[in-house]
Structure 1
Amino acid sequence: MHEKLTKSFSINGKSESTLKNYSRCLAHLALHYKKSPEHLDKEAIDDYLFHCKNQHNTPSDSFFKHTIYGLRAIYKLLGMDGQKVQLPEIKRQNDLPVVMSLEEVKKLINAPKYLKHRLIIATLYGCGLRSYELCALKLSNELLEVPYFIHL
């Protein structure tokens, strides 16, 4: 089954990471029942999904979704059109992010004792960089615009 899925993904131009995620989730399912997912009935699949959703030490919602997407992929690949797996609605938090006020930004930047640390925080915040992007900066990199609050 994995070989067929790999060939299908390669032919259809799907990503290697998607294949790995689907395969990993399907392997968990197969290990749970000690049989290949295409040999499981709808009740067994539903029980497994219920188990995934309600277990405290279960992986994330992504794991749950990838399990369902993986099942859909193998059912389609194996011509098992009668087997349908519905993806239940996964609630997402739709709260807006909290934006710091100018005063809070000043406090954040001025909190460290050393200028070097203040510049690091100001660059991260002002340029919207991730920590690994900051680590990759070199003196030869040109900053098109210095964030306005570095001068605060």
Structure 2
Amino acid sequence: MSKLLEKMKMDLVLRGYSKNTQKTYLDNVKHFSNHYGKSPELLSEEDIRDYLFHSISVRKLSCSFVNTAYSSIKFFFETTLNRDRNMKNIPRVKKAKKLPVVLSKDEVKSILALTSNLKHKAILTTTYSAGLRVSEVCNLKISDIDSGNMQIHIHDAKGNKDRYSLLGKANLLVLREYFKVYRPSDWLFPNELTLAPLSVRTIQKVFQDAKDKAGIIKDVSIHSLRHSFATHLLKSGVDLVYIQKLLGHTNIQTTSIYLHLTSKDILNIISPLDTLGE
């Protein structure tokens, strides 16, 4: 790693950025530098604009990815180099407001029932039961499972925050069965060869295989279990503020997207056409 990137890493640590964010920001600046074959401090505002445009129009990268690259480059110039690259002249990508795709309870039940591998079943059950991000599932330790208080302790989650989520009774039964067979010693779901935590990609594939086996054709990912957790709680009458805390959202506006996914109250509205004869 170059001295500049070492300094950037130190700046990220001093600012309290999570390890995942540190890695993402450093990787983004490396990609930016490699794109031009130059050290990043030699690149101009126009180079930044062209790089972001290329990422959108040629590489077809997502809005989230491009906006994270934007933030990474901005941090590098403004914080690490203490230079003003006038990033205000370079607009961020406007993110499309798409509703997340949610699985029904029957679909979740089918996915879990058809997952025969006990370790895979434990992973998917825990993801849905506690509404976890895939990175949070990867980083769970045995000590994070608090069966006395029926809660799961999530460390260093998004935004470098700790929180607690639910440990469901059915989830605990599956975890106990899993523990008896696999006997993990530190990480809850380790790679059996390296004993390091399973990778995000491995868990994503576990979900995709289970989804395909269940015959679900919706465009869903492992993260859809988290969306489903929140939506199913909201439909059952749980207050939005509690769901916000369980998900670890800083802003309740982020959680409020699930209001658009629940049809309980909307379906009780009577069409004006049906009242014309009254």
- TM-score after normalising by structure 1: 0.62
Distance in 2, Cα, partners of 1:23 & 1:105 = 37
Provide structure 2 residue ranges, at least 5 long, that are not aligned to the other structure: 141-170, 180-278
2:129 match:
128
User: Superposition pairs for residues 2-151 of structure 1, below 5 Å?
Assistant: 2-56=5-59, 59-77=61-79, 78-84=81-87, 85-94=90-99, 97=102, 99=104, 108=110, 124=125, 128=129, 137-139=175-177
Post-superposition shift, 1:60?
Answer: 4.2
For residues 136 and 31 of structure 1, do their structure 2 counterparts lie closer, same or farther at Cα, with a shift above 3 Å needed? farther
Deviation at 1:30, TM superposition (A): 0.6
| Aligned-residue offset at 1:69 | 0.9
| 1:88 Cα offset (Å) | 1.9
The percent of aligned pairs where both chains have the same amino acid is: 26
CA–CA separation in structure 1 for the residues paired with 2:108 and 2:69? 42
Q: Specify the code of the residue in structure 1 equivalent to 2:129.
A: G
Compared with structure 1, are the counterparts of its residues 2 and 73 closer, same or farther at alpha carbon in structure 2 (3 Å cutoff)? same
| Equivalenced residues, count | 129
TM-score scaled to structure 2, two decimals?
0.37
The answer to whether the 8 Å contact 1:29/1:48 transfers is yes
Q: Is the 8 A contact 2:29 2:76 kept in 1?
A: no
CA contact (8 A) 2:64 2:95 kept: no
**Equivalent pair of 1:22/1:67 in contact (CA under 8 Å):** yes
Instruction: Report the Cα distance in structure 2 between the residues aligned to 1:27 and 1:74, rounded to whole angstroms.
Output: 11
Separation in 2 of the partners of 1:83 and 1:105? 47
RMSD: 3.9
- Superposed structure 1 runs of 4+ greater than 6 Å apart: 132-136
Counterparts of 2:32 and 2:178, CA distance in 1:
50
Q: What is the one-letter code of the residue matched to 2:98?
A: Q
1:150 maps to which residue?
Answer: none
Q: Give 1 or 2: higher strand fraction.
A: 2
CA separation of 1:136 and 1:75: change in aligned 2, threshold 3 A: farther
Rate the CA distance shift 1:128–1:49 in 2: closer, same or farther, 3 A: same
Aligned-pair CA distance for 1:82: 3.9
Structure number with greater Rg is: 1
Shift of 1:47: 1.4
CA contact (8 A) 1:9 1:19 kept: yes
Q: Structure 1 residues 42 and 137, CA, compared in 2 at 3 Å: closer, same or farther? A: same
Structure 1, unaligned runs of 5 or more: 142-152
Deviation at 1:45, TM superposition (A): 1.4
Q: Contact 1:30 / 1:37 at 8 angstroms: preserved in 2? A: yes
CA distance 1:33–1:136, change in 2 (3 Å): farther
C-alpha separation in 2, matches of 1:61 and 1:33: 22
SS at match of 1:128: helix
